[in-house]
């Protein structure tokens, strides 16, 4: 069974601070996605990474896929209140289309 562990589970920071959240597994994933979810809504896809060592940037968000494709990180620079939400990582293994999700990191950015 593939498991994804996310840390920290909760994070409360001041506007303008930087932060990093982590997604770790003992399993290798063919691809890994990061989503953001607002209360009462479905997850919204932020990025997909497929190559070990891959780094992708989305404005103030930087995503990295580990060299061994077992872990990933999300770094947010100069956080804003609009970044508040639940950040979920999800991976799929070789030959499978189902996504395995972590429990998420709940981020609060205080103005």
Partner 1 sequence: DTGVSQNPRHKITKRGQNVTFRCDPISEHNRLYWYRQTLGQGPEFLTYFQNEAQLEKSRLLSDRFSAERPKGSFSTLEIQRTEQGDSAMYLCASSSLSGRREQFFGPGTRLTVL
Interface residues with partner 1 (CB under 8 A) are: 4, 30-31, 33, 35, 40-45, 48, 50, 88, 90, 92, 96-104
Nearer to partner 1, 17 or 38 (CB): 38
Closest separation between CB of residue 45 and partner 1, Å?
A: 6
Nearer to partner 1, 56 or 75 (CB): 56
Q: DSSP for the chain?
A: ----EEE-SEEEEETT--EEEEEE-SS--SEEEEEEE-TTS--EEEEEE-STT-EEEETTEEEEE-TTSSEEEEEESS--GGG-EEEEEEEE-TT--PPEE---EEEEEE-
Closest separation between CB of residue 103 and partner 1, Å?
A: 5
Closest separation between CB of residue 43 and partner 1, Å?
A: 5
């Amino acid at each position: 069974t593939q498991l994804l562990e996310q840390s920290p589970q909760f994070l409360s920071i001041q506007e303008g601070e930087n932060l990093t959240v982590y997604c770790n597994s003992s399993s290798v994933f063919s691809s890994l996605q990061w989503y953001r979810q607002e209360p009462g809504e479905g997850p919204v896809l932020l990025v997909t990474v497929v190559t070990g060592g891959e780094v992708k940037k989305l404005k103030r968000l930087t995503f990295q896929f580990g060299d061994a494709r077992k872990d990933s990180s999300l770094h947010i620079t100069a956080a804003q209140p609009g970044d508040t939400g639940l950040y979920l990582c999800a991976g799929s293994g070789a030959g499978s289309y189902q996504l395995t999700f972590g429990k998420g990191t709940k981020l609060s950015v205080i103005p």
